Structure 1
């Protein structure tokens, strides 16, 4: 999945907020199981309404998904989009800088 500059810029804009970046990182660490909204709220210690806003922004950018499981809203990273976003930056990393190598 290749990523266009406009799409990468949108992802950067959304991840430029500390809470959204924290949510993104938490979901990456959670893997396929994801996290319930309540778990994210407990980890970040922010009001539900604020968290809902940040989740909506990440979903609009395509960086995460959310689905209902009974009474729980489960959030997961959108793995394909996250992988494309990271690849966008590291694909040609440091090509023109001699002696600089990226270790991933």
Structure 2
């Protein structure tokens, strides 16, 4: 990840509603939620929510997929892991390998919480 991409991601998360959306989608797991459901759960008008979702999508923090007439969104854990890795790249006196446990702990869920085998990004590093 380069600095500009990291700044875009940080700017996207630097707004209260977008941070709430991202955290909601992380909790929702790899199946994600429909845009309307996200708006309802966060008590936000749908067109306003749409704008927030676009910002998070452009920043590489969420991914959209169409399901019939709905658009569903899920947290993009690879994008989030890349952001964390970028932020921690120079940690530990230039030895980023020392920070790998912190990155892994911050970005992965225990396998027994999400049994789905087709969403590898949710399983964490292998």
Change (3 A) 1:5 1:69: same
TM-score (norm: length of structure 2)? 0.68
Structure 2 unaligned spans of 5+: 106-126
Greater relative CO, 1 or 2 (CA 8 Å, sep 6+) = 1
d(CA) in 1 for partners of 2:50, 2:16:
15
- Deviation of residue 89 (structure 1)? 2.1
* Deviation string, structure 1 residues 19-65 (Cα, Å, up to 9, x no partner): 11111111111111111112211111010110011011111112111
Change (3 A) 1:17 1:30: same
The reply to whether residue 51 of structure 1 matches residue 66 of structure 2 is no
Structure 1 unaligned spans of 5+: none
Match of 2:81 in 1: 83
Number of positions where the alignment pairs a residue of Structure 1 with one of Structure 2: 98
- Deviation of residue 91 (structure 1)? 4.2
TM-score (norm: length of structure 1)? 0.81
Match of 1:35 in 2: 33
CA RMSD of aligned residues (A): 2.1
User: Is the partner of 2:80 in helix, strand or coil?
Assistant: helix
Match of 1:13 in 2: 11
User: Is the partner of 2:30 in helix, strand or coil?
Assistant: helix
* Deviation string, structure 1 residues 56-81 (Cα, Å, up to 9, x no partner): 11111121111110122110112211
